[in-house]
Amino acid sequence: MLTLYFSPGSSSMAVHIALHEIGADFERRLVSLAKGEQHKPEYLDVNPEAKVPTLLIDGRPLTEVAAILYFLAKRFPDAGLWPFGGLEAEAQAISWMSFIASTIHPARRIGPERWREVFGIAERRLAGREWTVGRYSIADIHLFRLYWRFVNSLKPNLGDFPGLSAHYERMMARPAVRQTLEIESAIGYALPQ
Ligand SMILES: N[C@@H](CCC(=O)N[C@@H](CS)C(=O)NCC(=O)O)C(=O)O
């Protein structure tokens, strides 16, 4: 049994998309960051860092977007979310996800200039490719969630990020992405600017 603790529009969106891609049964548990529910003792029992997402796997918590995406891609291979192409492609996907978690994600809190700078780096890394590594994979889902947040918060000139913006459009065309955005927007995004 899989249970996703999530907050609309937050980092948990990446896991939410992956769960829809896979088509597995899962339960959703809303953690309202706006109401501070991430600090409730019962949530700290599953994630002592007071952050979303957390995925419960038969009651056992797994945290960190990259680790959860890894778990889902490997546990449900038929969904084709694990990078295709052998060891080097797998390492490239881990490289992207490390870069996304450690460099892109913290940039928002530093400020708009840094945020633009890191997406400039991502734009160069992507180099106009259709997907981050060969074919569609968990690295694309991870990248999309951060770029989605950037686009919707800062409203950058999309012409400054042509590769990322084309990637965004490809992602937005996916039924799993549409389904996730429909569910999350119906609940309502309540994120810090
Ligand atoms: N490194 C974590 C980051 C998760 C994270 O920062 N989540 C944010 C939402 S995007 C959160 O839960 N923040 C809680 C808070 O701000 O109190 C991951 O990749 O899962």
Is the torsion defined by CA of 22, 28, 31, 33 positive or negative? positive
Ligand 1 atom with the smallest distance to the CA of 36 is: 17
Ligand 1 atom with the smallest distance to the CA of 66 is: 19
pLDDT band of residue 190 (cuts 50, 70, 90) is confident
Q: What is the pLDDT of residue 79?
A: 98
Spatial distance between the Cα atoms of 75 and 139, rounded to a whole number of angstroms: 16
- Its CATH architecture, for the domain 2-79+176-187, is 3-Layer(aba) Sandwich (3.40)
Average pLDDT, the chain: 97
pTM score: 0.97
Q: What is the pLDDT of residue 126?
A: 98
- 65 Cβ closer than 6 Å to some ligand 1 atom: yes
DSSP 68-83: HHHHHHHH-GGG--SP
Spatial strand order of the sheet with 54-57 comes to: 27-30, 2-6, 54-57, 60-63
Where in the chain do CATH 1.20.1050.10 domains reside? 87-174
- 132 Cβ closer than 6 Å to some ligand 1 atom: no
pLDDT beyond 60 at 150: yes
- Its CATH architecture, for the domain 87-174, is Up-down Bundle (1.20)
DSSP 125-183: HHTT-SSSSSS--HHHHHHHHHHHHHHHHH---GGGSHHHHHHHHHHHTSHHHHHHHHH
Ligand 1 atom with the smallest distance to the CA of 64 is: 20
pLDDT beyond 80 at 193: no
- Ligand 1: centre distance to CA 86 (Å): 31
pLDDT digits (tens, 9 = 90+) for 121-138: 999 999 999 999 999 999
pLDDT beyond 90 at 192: no
